[in-house]
Structure formats: structure tokens, C-alpha cells
Amino acid sequence: MNLVSPSEPGNVSGTLAASPPDLFPRLEPLLMRVSRPVQYVGGEINAVVKPWGEAVVHWCLMYPDAYEVGQPSQGLAILYEVLNERDDVLAERSFAVWPDLAALMRGHGIPQFTLESHAPVAAFDVLGVSLATELGVTNLLEALDLAGIPLHAADRGAGDPLVVVGGHVATNPEPVADFIDVAVLGDGEQAVLDLSAIVAEWIESGRAGGRTAVLERLAATGKFYVPAFYDVDYAPAGDERAGQITAIRPTNAAAPATVEKYLLERLDAWPYPKRPLVPVAETVHERYSAEIFRGCTRGCRFCQAGMITRPVRERSIDVIGQMVACGLEATGYEEVGLLSLSSADHSEIAPLTRELADRYEGTNVSLSLPSTRVDAFNIDLAEELARNGRRTGLTFAPEGGSERMRRIINKNVDEDDLIATAEAAFAAGWRQIKLYFMCGLPGETDEDVVAIADVAARVVDAGRRITGGREARCTISIGGFVPKPQTPFQWAAQADPETVHRRIQGLRDRVRADRRHSRAITVRYSDGWPGVVEGLIARGDRRVGRVIEAVWRDGGIFDGWSEHFSYERWSRCAAEVLEPLGVSLGWFTTRERDRDEVLPWDHLDVGVDRDWLWDDWQDSQSELTVGDCRWEGCSDCGVCPMLETSLDLGPTGRHLIPLTPLTKAA
Ligand code: SF4
């Protein structure tokens, strides 16, 4: 199958670089002494090992977590292919190494390495890091240190890799500003090609002007954020705004006052991944994932992903069909995930799922659709998918326990609709429904959280009514809410963990006291302390970088893993670093901001208008909702005019059948 590729700028050519050493002969004897050694070996199906000397720009793509978490990263898989399709660019991958191997590597002088050629990460021209979660930042520092790359960007020279971060955490890269050279906002596909072209030119010039020259060229595009070219001013002690940012100023003529995000207008032009890598060790997802659209305009006020990926851009049904066929052929996977922020909202989701189910009926291929939409249509889809797969539990996400709470967060789910959907699911044969909620939302009371128990009891009753028995079950899964940048709740106070824990306990007590339902309801909640650190990093500024460094120097790594996370360490380091500066962990997390406060990310523009976000924040407090612009008209969030684009929606009326003849992907 020939999948279309995006138009590419001219390939870079020329300068041949000497190959770096292969570290594997030195690494191999150590692997028998560590846990899960296979994750460090490489050699996966579809891995690309290119001759080092034929590339001008050498990328190391890193996901700062263990292989089992990072390997399935869709972002990494896409950029790996986009870069390796270029003749003169090479991309390899690296993941966080576990502490057992890290200790041995330090003892034997072996640096952070890539999986493809086991080359030292420091030998690459660009280290591109996907920062998907706030708690991954200590692993970034660990990787830089293990690689022998100076921790602080200011200490790096022309021969050191450019450290570039993207991913959702890059929406506010200020807490890692001291450790990175460049941050990229938005879609990565075109960004990595543009960056490669600029770096190639610089390399071919003999790195003329040193590191500053290439950073200036990147900054001058207006789309690559170079933190070193900006100064941050803070209000002094004694001022009524003491501790707050008063200005973020460019200090280099090449740096714009505001940096814009990258946006792909036509997803069909970028049908990646075509040939994703098949892991050699067990990972969290083992399936072919096709992204069916990007962006979301439902307007849930807590959802950073929805806000920063606007506007909606759909991939057309026939391209999705080609991607799935091609991806399965290239990998041998037997599961397909149709991904997006709200997959049931694709304008052609019904024919897409029906035709995919038809195509793979009778084979071992099963389809999955991570969808949280609460309506009967979702049950139709689930039934379609279950035709050729397992009838697993269904998950819906009302997010807020009461109607009032759902108006505040703009999650327009009516409880009667939820019950009708549950009835349809039980009637169709499902016996277990999972409901996802958040706790600690702005404006929330204890009663709003306790009300979750009543919703779950109604779901169980619906199941018993439909099945005529008592086998219906409901699992309540709760996450602690963390306010995120570039959302209407970016000004909100984060609930302290004691409050969240008290409310969860109240919910558990209510479930337990309800003898008729308690055995059919399970409450799942993991503790709220990591959420405090997530909140600190999500809305932190450059001063928080010193906390991150102190935590890492104190031994903090793998903070996303409960067995490694230490709240005691984070709160101690935060107190040591922040209190002399007149701020604190609580100042960054549980403090409500006002309209005039300069937020650390105000100079980074993801397209959504700041005034629109503020008005939406005010509306939330009045329990006013806003409609989805796909169906209810534009609400002037500012994205489309600012980015000179529009919603890219179907239906196109195209079909998957007859099939496009299959040939191998390029
Ligand atoms: S500008 Fe209007 S149409 Fe475009 S994403 Fe925003 S609300 Fe929707």
C-alpha cells in the first residue's frame, strides 16, 4: 500500500559525520545483572538503523519513562517515521533506564544510549524529548546526567545536542526552562522537519556562530521557544503582588514577544505511523493505533488536551482504513485502537466502525474505541466493535457527580441520559459499567462528591431492572483534579489533598452504608499527593526548576511510579528552595490567580484567546455552559482566525470497501 506523504522541504545533504561507538559490547555483560534486560536490547521489528555517516542531522527521540510506558507512545512513533523517511536525517530512540542499570552504567562509565545502534545520546545533534506527564521531569534530568550532557542549557557548547521538548507539558515549559534549549508547542510532524532543516544548514556551515546562532535562527521562526532568550521579572517582597511574575521579556532580537504553536491543517497528508515498532518486551499497549481526529471542541473546562489541540481536524475514513490495513500488515498486531480525545464524535464513526468490523470479521483482529461519550449511540458502536472482539467493560466519564458540578465543568451530561445509556448497555449484554469522575474541582462541595454514590446506585438499579437479576456492577474510578495551563481553570485554586481525601472518604462511607448496592459498587482512588507535585510543575515558573533539580539531586527519579514517588522529598525540597524566595508549594498550587496576574505561559500562544478563557472561567462560576462549535456554532475561542484555519470535518461520504489494493508501505 502506498500511503501519501506530506510535501517535504528539500533534503539536506553533505557533511558526513564519523560514527559514534557502539556501546553494546560494554553494556551486554551488565544486562544479566538487571531486571527486565530485554528492554535495553533493541532489534524490534520495524526499527530503523541507518548508516550514521549518510545523515547530516542525527536525532535521538526520548520518552523519559521506562520502555514499557514509552515504547507505545504514539507521538514518538510518528516522529520516528517522519524523520527516518528523510534521506539525510536519522532518528533513534532512548528510554529511561531503571535505577539498577543506571547504577551499573555510572560504575562502568557507560552513558545513556539509544536502542537502535547503542550509540551515546550525547553524540546526537538533537535530543527530542516527549514530555507527556509532569512527573517525568526528574527522569529528563537523570537522562541528561547519564548522557553526560550538561544539565543546564547555559553550560552547553556547540558540540552538545540541542535539547528540544514537546508534548503536553511543553504547554508550560518554564519549570524546565533551565534544562532545555527549545520547546515546541502543538503538532510535532512539521516542526521536526523544520527544525532539522535549520540544524542541517547550521551543521553544514561548520556550526558557524556556535550554539547561539542556531538557536537564534530557530527563535526567529516564531515557532520555536528558546527560554534562554527571555528574562522573567518578579514583584519584590513587600509589593502587593510579591512573588508574582510582572513581565516576561525577550532579551534577544531574534526572539518574538509571543511564540506560536505548530498546527497541521490536513491530517490526511500525514498518515503516520505506517510501520510502528513492535516491542520486544511487554508494554502497556500492544496494538496498532490510528488517530482518527485531532482536537476537541466539546469545551470541558478541565481538559488541557481539548483546549490546546483545537481546532478539530478529522482524518478521512478511507485514509484511516488504509492506515489500519497497512499498520496490521507491518506489525502483525491483532488489536486496533481508533484514537482521539472523543472518538465517537468523528463525523463518520458509524460507517467507520461498521466497515472495519465487516472487513475483519472472522479474523483475529479486534477493534477498540476509547470513548467516554454518554449516549445510546455509544452502545451501538460498542456492539459493533464487540462483534469481533471481547465484550469488555464499558467506561463513561460524567466527570462531575452532580448536575451542578457538570455545569461548572461544562460536561453536559444529563443523569437521565446516563441511566438510559446504562440500560441500553445492560440490555445489550454488558454486566459491568465503569464511571470516571474527578474530585477537587473548582466550586465543588462535599455533597457533590457524595452524590457520585447515588449515580452509581442508579446505574446498578438500571442493570438489575434490565437483567432481572443482581449481577450488574458499577466501578467508580476517581482522579484528583489538577488545574492546567491554557484552560479556563488555569486561574483556579487546586484543592488541597486533605480536602480531596476527606471527600473521597465521605463517598466511600456513603457507598458502604447503602446495603442494597454496596456489594455491587467498587470505588477506586489512588492517593492525591502526586497530584500536588503535578500541580506545582503544571503551573510553575522558572523557580520551580530549582525544586526539580533539588529533588533529582536528592535521588528523585521515576516519580510517576508510586514505589519511587516521595511526597516527603518533594515538599522538603520545595520548602528549602521556594521559601527563601518568598513563595511556597501552596502558593503555586492552592492559590487562585486573578485576571491581571502574568501567568508563566502567557507568552506562549496555543491559539485559544486568553480573554475567552477568562470569560469561560467566570461563566463556570455562574454555572453557565458553552456549546460544542462543531454543532452549535462558533463561540469565538480565537483559534481558527488566529491560525488562519477552520474546523476540518466530514462527512466525506467515502467508504472503506471496496478495499484499496494492498501494497507494502513506503
Ligand atoms: S474559533 Fe470558533 S469554530 Fe474555531 S475552534 Fe474556536 S469556537 Fe470552534
Nearest CA to ligand 1 atom 4: 640
pLDDT in the model for residue 390: 61
Identify the CA nearest to 440 among candidates 479, 402, 407: 479
In contact, 652 and 272? CB cutoff 8 Å: no
- Whether ligand 1 lies within 6 angstroms of the CB of 309 is answered as no
- Topology annotation, domain 261-372+630-666: Transcription Regulator spoIIAA (3.30.750)
* Out of 293-297, 485-489, 641-645, least confident range: 641-645
Cα(327) to ligand 1 centroid in Å equals: 33
Residue 646: pLDDT above 80? no
pLDDT in the model for residue 18: 81
pLDDT digit string (tens) for 78-87? Answer: 999 999 999 9
pLDDT in the model for residue 294: 94
- The closest-lying atom of ligand 1 relative to the alpha carbon of residue 629 is 8
User: What does the DSSP assignment read for 490-546?
Assistant: GGSPPPPHHHHHHHHHHHHHHHHH-TTTGGGEEEEE--SHHHHHHHHHHT--HHHHH
Residue predicted with more confidence, 598 or 265: 598
Own/partner contacts of 324-327, CB < 8 Å, gap of 24 or more, are 324/288, 324/290, 324/356, 325/1, 325/659, 325/660, 325/662, 326/1, 326/3, 326/274, 326/275, 326/662, 326/665, 327/273, 327/274, 327/275, 327/276, 327/288, 327/290
- The closest-lying atom of ligand 1 relative to the alpha carbon of residue 295 is 5
- Whether ligand 1 lies within 6 angstroms of the CB of 349 is answered as no
- The domain limits of the chain are 25-184+188-253, 261-372+630-666
Cα(185) to ligand 1 centroid in Å equals: 19
Question: Which CATH superfamily groups domain 25-184+188-253?
Answer: Cobalamin-binding domain (3.40.50.280)
- Whether ligand 1 lies within 6 angstroms of the CB of 427 is answered as no
In contact, 607 and 261? CB cutoff 8 Å: yes
Mean pLDDT of 79-97: 98
pLDDT in the model for residue 429: 83
Rg of the chain on CA atoms, in Å: 25
- The closest-lying atom of ligand 1 relative to the alpha carbon of residue 634 is 2
CA distance 547 to 575: 9
Cα(644) to ligand 1 centroid in Å equals: 11
CA distance 389 to 402: 34
Q: Hey, what amino acid is at 122?
A: A
Q: Hey, what amino acid is at 69?
A: V
Compute the C-alpha angle 268/270/275, nearest 5°.
115
Residue 377's pLDDT band, with cuts at 50, 70 and 90, is: low
- Whether ligand 1 lies within 6 angstroms of the CB of 20 is answered as no
- Whether ligand 1 lies within 6 angstroms of the CB of 635 is answered as yes
CA distance 448 to 441: 10
φ, ψ of residue 144 in degrees (nearest 5): -60, -45
Mean pLDDT of 435-459: 95
- Whether ligand 1 lies within 6 angstroms of the CB of 46 is answered as no
- Whether ligand 1 lies within 6 angstroms of the CB of 642 is answered as no
CA distance 70 to 66: 6
Beta pairing partners, 60? 92, 127
* E strands, 526-662, in order: 604-605
- Whether ligand 1 lies within 6 angstroms of the CB of 306 is answered as no
pLDDT digit string (tens) for 129-156? Answer: 999 999 999 999 999 999 999 999 999 9
Cα(565) to ligand 1 centroid in Å equals: 39
CA distance 213 to 254: 10
Compute the C-alpha angle 89/92/93, nearest 5°.
145
Residue 388's pLDDT band, with cuts at 50, 70 and 90, is: low
CA distance 23 to 34: 17
DSSP 662: P
Nearest CA to ligand 1 atom 2: 634
Residue 622's pLDDT band, with cuts at 50, 70 and 90, is: very high
